[in-house]
Structures are given as C-alpha cells and as structure tokens.
Amino acid sequence: MKLDHNTESEWHGKYILINTRKLPDTTNSVQGLISLIEAAPSAVEVGLKGSSEEFFPIKLKDKHAAAALKAYADSIRFEDPEFAKEMYELVSRAGPNSPFCKAPD
C-alpha cells in the first residue's frame, strides 16, 4: 500500500480538515455546515505536503492508532500532563480498543 500523502494527485492526500475554530458559528446540519464553510473558506485546510499546514489524520479505528497516540501522549506528558491525560483517554478507545478496529486502507 502506498501512503496517499505521497501520491501525485490534485489533493496530495486522502483528507482535508475543517478548522471549526475558524467558523463563525456552529450548526447541527450538513447544509448549515456547508453554509458556514462557504462563509469562512479559510477554515478548510488541505494540508499540502511540505506546507506549514501539513497534517496526517489518524482515525481511532485504525488498528495502529493506539500505539501512535500513546507515543504522542508519552512524549508530551512532562510538558503538559493534562493534555497527555486526555490523549491517554483517546488511547483507551483507539486501535484494538475500538469496536470498529480495522487495518488502514
């Protein structure tokens, strides 16, 4: 399997992110969300390879997510114990701990 992030495509990845902190309001409907994104297009982050906004999202159901998130929590625990605690809580629901656990695709 090849990492989507490294493929030559228009998007250079599998996902885009929506930074909800940049949206003017919150909504519970898909149409409302689309309207908010249209009002604040800067909230959409494509995360192009090599850009300052590059990202790599990990879904909790990914069978490797628990290991990745635990490593992240371990690396930040002395700098920000409160944040690390919240990360360890994610670990408890990630990878093999998720009822939706599956291999990445």
**pLDDT, average across residues 50-66:** 92
Residue 52 lies in a domain: no
Provide the pairing of β-strand 44-45 with 17-18.
antiparallel
Counted domains in the chain: 2
pLDDT category of residue 100 using cuts at 50, 70 and 90: very high
**pLDDT, average across residues 40-57:** 84
| pLDDT greater at residue 42 or residue 82 | 82
Residue 22 buriedness (CB in 10 A; 0-12 / 13-18 / 19+): middle
**pLDDT, average across residues 64-88:** 98
Same domain, 41 and 70: no
β-sheet bridge partners, residue 45: 17
Please give the model's pTM, rounded to 2 decimal places: 0.76
Residue 53 lies in a domain: no
**Assigned token pair, 93:** 């629901």
Residue 71 lies in a domain: yes
Residue 86 lies in a domain: yes
Determine the pLDDT at residue 2. 61
Determine the pLDDT at residue 75. 98
